[in-house]
Structure 1
Amino acid sequence: MTDATSSPEAAGRTATSDPPLVRITGLRKSFDAVHALRGVDLTLAAGEVTALLGDNGAGKSTLVRCLTGVHPPDAGEIRFRGEPIKLHSPDEARRLGIETVYQTLGLIEDLQVWQNLYLNRELTAGFGPFQVLDKKSMISHSKEILSRLDVDVPNVRATVRRMSGGQRQSIAIARAANWGKTLVIMDEPTAALGVRETTAVEALIRRLRDSAVTVLLISHDMAQVLRVADTAYVLRRGQTVARRVVKDTTGDELVGLITGAIEGDTHG
């Protein structure tokens, strides 16, 4: 399995001679008689935001689960930095620097911000069996994480329950970005947010890209895709039907490709 160590690229872009961060070819996955993926091809360029589009049942969630080690694909290949990989668990994906922000966020409301940032990754101090939680370091590092990403949280000691929807989403993204050094997958990150909070989260996505973090964005919001994504892939009935450079397309074209009103023109 490939090493997850990342190297910074100028302006968050990889050199043209480097392989893409992730290349998926011919991915297939079935659950009994249900063919969730029928041959998906997708490329994630390092340091870019790629949108993954499609109606419910198009295969987006299954593709993400294959990419994060939840489900092994039945056929096809996933390459990470040019090397084929087989992920058997989410922990293996995390070791490659792949993190996911789900719609449920995975935050514990009665824990403080810093505790959520280090949930299941707590720092300890001491020797041998005499280990204690290094609360001071985790609080200090949490402040640095949020400051680096310009996340507007007034106090890392505040409980998540007291945070707004946008702040909670930003905390979840900051946690994923801190541990996911190479790829952060976001599932409808602004679906339940207002205009102001959506703007803040989109600004955070751009900052991740500028920091050379690759983002895979699942969104039904075509205006958002046009604002923040570099490339968009459309899935329909478990297949890749189109790839578009976002600056060269429109929301209407993307919607047409999703619904089938416009024929797809690619399988990779």
Structure 2
Amino acid sequence: MRLVTFTDGMGARVGALDSSGAVRDITAVDSSLPRDMLGLIASGRMPAIGDAPVVPEARLLAPIPRTPKNVFCVGKNYHEHAKEFAGSGFDGGAKDVVPPFPVVFSKPHTSIIATGEPILGHLDPTGGLDYEGELGVVIGKGGRGIAKADSLKHVFGYTIINDVTARHLQKRHSQWVLGKGLDSFCPMGPAILTADEVPDPAKLTLTTWVNGEQRQHASVSDLIFDIPTLIEAISAGITLEPGDVIATGTPVGVGIGFSPPRFLASGDVVRIEVPGIGMLENRVA
């Protein structure tokens, strides 16, 4: 099932996308369901579309407009992108092209926007705006010290993330929060594909286009540190909560990988697709 958060002038609530892409109001047929995504995830309930009515004026919000904590992000987690980043001059002199352990940073919830909302490019005064298409993992059952063997039991579903980055700020400050955590720099959506629909997340693929030109295409199986490893590493000392999101890293093909770099400009459109989840599309304002 593809679950969404939407609004239609009657308040934000959870819904589901049917096979045609229409939004159906699942709370209209079961008033006991939580109306927000975090509440639904924490409840452990899996709704059914059934006779849920179509909402013709629905506008999609980010599936989780405000995560319990900052969005967890993983850097340099595809082999070819790790090489690309190391050779770009923006890596801050890191010694290891391929990191020996997951590189984890975070983006604040104020960076989260929905598909269709503008990326506020003017917040990067340095002119180094870049895109990073990524698969996002949504935690269902929380916990600390989650073992790899049990990790996928803690996954509620999967979404798409654009880890928008101000490259010069990223390099200038060494730590990545200021380069990656600006308002609107975490487009998310359009939906959460529930884990029961994804027996093996490694078989998912991700493709990114900029103004219709394909820039990235990879299989999730190419991750250096796979999803179970990431969940184990993050939860070792940080309690994961229902609705926490982990962005798993971006493949080769980002703007700084070109010579010269191909940074985003006002009016550019970034579209990211993971079959089964849908398309996340945002224009640079």
TM over 0.5: no
TM-score of the two chains, using structure 1 as the length reference: 0.22
TM-score of the two chains, using structure 2 as the length reference: 0.21
